[in-house]
Amino acid sequence: MPIPPESAPSGATAAPSDDDHPELAAANAQAGLWLFAVYLAFYAGFVGLSAFAPDLMARSPFGGLNLAVLYGFFLIVAALVLALIYMAVCRRSAGRHRWEERGR
């Protein structure tokens, strides 16, 4: 959160905001929406199977855990992996943006 100028201690600089780099914010938002769409597809599969194929979700393919539990764990792990991917994409996008600004 940027420091308002009237309350900033002497020598403090305000942090850059999304308003300073709208193209970077737009690129990050677009990446976030794509990754959200991927997760939404995974989640829709879970809900669809739960609603329309409960007998399939009740099967135990591995280690006595039913498919519903395994799919639930998959959703948790997928959310973490997609968050890491989003972080990497944003970091790469910011690096590319800094590189382009140096060239100007």
Q: How buried is 67 (Cβ within 10 angstroms: 0-12 exposed, 13-18 middle, 19+ buried)?
A: buried
8 A C-beta contact, residue 41 and residue 32 = no
- 43 contact partners, CB below 8 Å, separation of at least 6: 75
What's the whole-model pTM score?
0.75
Q: Which tens digits make up the pLDDT trace of 28-47?
A: 999 999 999 999 999 999 99
Can you give the residue ranges of every domain in the chain?
27-103
- pLDDT per residue as tens, the chain (104 positions): 555 556 656 666 655 565 678 888 899 999 999 999 999 999 999 999 999 999 999 999 888 899 999 999 999 999 999 999 999 999 998 888 888 778 76
